[in-house]
């Protein structure tokens, strides 16, 4: 059975039932744009009010077109569904009803079942496209992953990029494939019982290839500023609709099961209703109740207000948030690093781990030394543990290191395995970064494809970013940081899959599969009953930690761990049913001989008080 899905956009090129195409452009600074088709025909656009212009023309599926402005300049459609070549060129008319979905009845998976696997389409495989990802889905299914999360795919200029410099937010980048290739990938993800997530960027456009300022300068405002310049003006109705429909477009037309919203702390909106609130409410009202659709934030401000639950425990707006606090704690424990933002976590690191595993955020309104005493965060202890996405690595935390160092390059295998044994089993939703499952030590660097003055500015700007880290205080040392524009920087970041078949990586994958199987069988069934405030922690020895989550049904999940390089005494009596032990005989020997370095024990016990 084949299904057809299309999201009706109020702008861009929309194919009508009679086959004609309605072109609609918001160009409030123009007097009369013209649609120019590749066949040479021109179609003047009439005013439709509120800064919009419209024209109707015959343009078959795949027709190339651009808009000519009052001064004769030709620009792509900001709501292009696909580009003929690169971001600077012509857009293509796409009729989404032509694609036949084979698994259109898929309704997703409950959030408690999610294990995220983040990947970059261009470097995940040698092929570097959507089809290359599709060919590795069996690997992810065997691993125990339930959610494939793509870094941004919105069209960006050039041949390569992280995706966070996208300029055409509705068009999958041509380097990765056409719209049908992306839909095929999502369809195949669903065929395996997995979910598909997409990272979207609503806080800025890339510095090259965005033409909105030429015909819609009202899209931006000088009232607010971001690290990328003038802020997007969310007081404009057309701007709000642009992003709301972008979310609906990916969820309805491409059947993604979830979106990850990049750096929403950089979205500045002083409207009566914040754009994030309106977006979430609109999306949830528009989608069928039986679909499991998950909206996940990245928010450095730790604003728990967007994560509130209703009386039944369902998300009012956003399902979860990437928990950078958890990452920073894991990283400091594993590496001992205290430079840059890690300084905020280098004090009572064991207490920070206890807080993040029992309450979510470490910073819930406390002053941040790294931020010169700025108060950061809001209380989060009232939220269930699954409100938080925890990780030991992701694209930012690896790629924003000067040399793209993965954790496996920085620490011993024993350390990395102990961190994984906590991360993958603990109640917060875990995220893996591509290659982590086989202990890859291959760098993942920041890369782009800019030219001339912009390339130089990006290269030097990246090197300046590291000046606050003590190891890069010397300007000469910073010159060793790889150039993001170099071909070699991109090539070095591409995963080496032949390495994954070697004995040691195979052992890593068996270990990760074991932990994810444990999570599926013993942890996930308990998560739906795990409410807020259900966790308690106690410390022992110099580094020992025990955390207990009451999971209902008169049982509790217990973590007993020594995440340090020295043995620890004093864990006390441990009883209950063994779920996992990092060292043979650990459950029996821990009380008598102590916990060895980098040891982790998971048990279930009756939910009686300590």
At 503, is the secondary structure helix, strand, or coil? Answer: helix
Catalytic residue among 173, 233, 262, 325: 262
Give whole-number Cα distances, 276 to 241, 244, 289, 296, 384, in Å.
12, 9, 20, 11, 21
Distance CA 499, CA 438 (A): 9
Contact between residue 81 and residue 43 where contact means Cβ atoms under 8 Å apart: no
Annotation says 298 is catalytic: yes
Give whole-number Cα distances, 505 to 142, 224, 393, 442, 512, in Å.
15, 48, 17, 12, 11
Helix (H) or strand (E) holding 56: strand 52-58
Catalytic residue among 165, 298, 303, 324: 298
Distance CA 103, CA 2 (A): 8
Residue with tokens 């510095």: 207
Contact between residue 605 and residue 576 where contact means Cβ atoms under 8 Å apart: yes
Contact between residue 544 and residue 570 where contact means Cβ atoms under 8 Å apart: yes
Contact between residue 137 and residue 36 where contact means Cβ atoms under 8 Å apart: no
Contact between residue 496 and residue 402 where contact means Cβ atoms under 8 Å apart: no
Q: Which of 413, 359, 403, 398 is nearest to 547 (CA)?
A: 359
DSSP state of 98: G
How would you classify the pairing of strands 320-322 and 294-298? parallel
Distance CA 28, CA 23 (A): 15
Annotation says 378 is catalytic: no
Polymer length of the chain: 610
* Residues designated as active site: 262, 298
């Amino acid at each position: 059975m084949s299904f057809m899905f299309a999201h009706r956009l109020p702008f861009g090129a929309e194919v009508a039932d009679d086959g004609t195409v309605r072109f609609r452009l918001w160009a409030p600074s123009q007097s009369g744009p013209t649609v120019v088709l590749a066949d040479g025909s021109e179609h003047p656009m009439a005013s439709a009010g509120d800064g919009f212009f419209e024209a109707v023309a015959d343009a078959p599926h795949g027709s190339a077109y651009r808009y000519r402005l009052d001064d004769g300049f030709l620009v792509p459609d900001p709501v292009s569904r696909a580009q003929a070549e690169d971001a600077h060129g012509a857009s293509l008319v796409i009729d989404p009803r032509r694609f036949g979905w084979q698994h259109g009845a898929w309704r997703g998976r409950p959030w408690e079942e999610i294990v995220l696997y983040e990947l970059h389409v261009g470097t995940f495989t040698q092929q570097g496209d959507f089809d290359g990802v599709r060919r590795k889905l069996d690997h992810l299914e065997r691993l125990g992953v339930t959610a494939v999360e793509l870094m941004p795919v919105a069209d960006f200029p050039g041949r390569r990029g992280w995706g966070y410099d996208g300029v055409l937010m509705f068009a999958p980048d041509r380097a990765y494939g056409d719209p049908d290739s992306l839909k095929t990938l999502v369809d195949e993800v669903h065929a395996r019982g997995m979910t598909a997530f997409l990272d979207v960027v609503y806080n800025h456009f890339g510095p090259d290839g965005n033409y909105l300022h030429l015909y819609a300068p009202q899209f931006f405002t000088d009232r607010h500023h971001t690290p990328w310049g003038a802020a997007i003006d969310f007081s404009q109705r057309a701007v709000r609709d642009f992003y709301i429909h972008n979310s609906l477009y990916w969820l309805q037309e491409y059947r993604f099961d979830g979106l990850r919203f990049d750096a929403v702390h950089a979205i500045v909106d002083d409207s009566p209703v914040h754009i994030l609130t309106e977006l979430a409410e609109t999306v949830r009202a528009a989608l069928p109740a039986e679909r499991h659709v998950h909206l996940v934030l990245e928010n450095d401000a730790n604003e728990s207000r967007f994560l509130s639950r209703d009386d039944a425990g369902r998300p009012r707006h956003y399902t979860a948030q990437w928990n950078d606090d958890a990452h920073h704690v894991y990283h400091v424990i594993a590496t001992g690093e205290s430079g840059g933002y890690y300084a905020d976590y280098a004090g009572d690191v064991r207490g920070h781990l206890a807080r993040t595993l029992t309450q979510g955020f470490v910073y819930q309104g406390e002053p941040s030394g790294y931020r010169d005493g700025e108060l950061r965060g809001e209380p989060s202890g009232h939220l269930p543990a699954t409100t938080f996405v925890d990780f030991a690595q992701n694209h930012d935390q690896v790629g924003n290191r000067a040399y793209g160092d993965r954790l496996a390059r920085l620490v011993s295998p024993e350390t990395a395995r102990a961190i994984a044994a906590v991360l993958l089993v603990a109640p917060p939703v875990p995220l893996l970064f591509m290659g982590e499952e086989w202990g890859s030590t291959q760098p993942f660097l920041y890369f782009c494809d800019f030219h001339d003055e912009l390339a130089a500015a990006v290269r030097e700007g990246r090197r300046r970013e590291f000046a606050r880290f003590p190891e890069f205080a010397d300007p000469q040392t910073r010159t060793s940081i790889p150039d993001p524009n170099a071909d070699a920087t991109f090539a070095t970041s591409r995963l080496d899959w032949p390495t994954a078949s070697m004995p040691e990586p195979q052992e890593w994958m068996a270990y990760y599969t074991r932990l994810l199987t444990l999570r599926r069988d013993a942890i996930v069934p308990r998560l739906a009953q795990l409410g807020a405030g259900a966790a308690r922690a106690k410390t022992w020895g110099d580094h020992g930690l025990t955390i207990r989550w009451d999971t209902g049904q008169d049982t509790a999940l217990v973590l007993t761990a020594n995440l340090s390089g020295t043995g620890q005494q004093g864990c006390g009596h441990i009883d209950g049913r063994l779920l996992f032990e990092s060292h043979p005989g650990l459950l029996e020997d821990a009380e008598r001989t102590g916990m060895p370095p980098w040891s982790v024990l998971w048990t279930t016990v009756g939910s009686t008080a300590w």
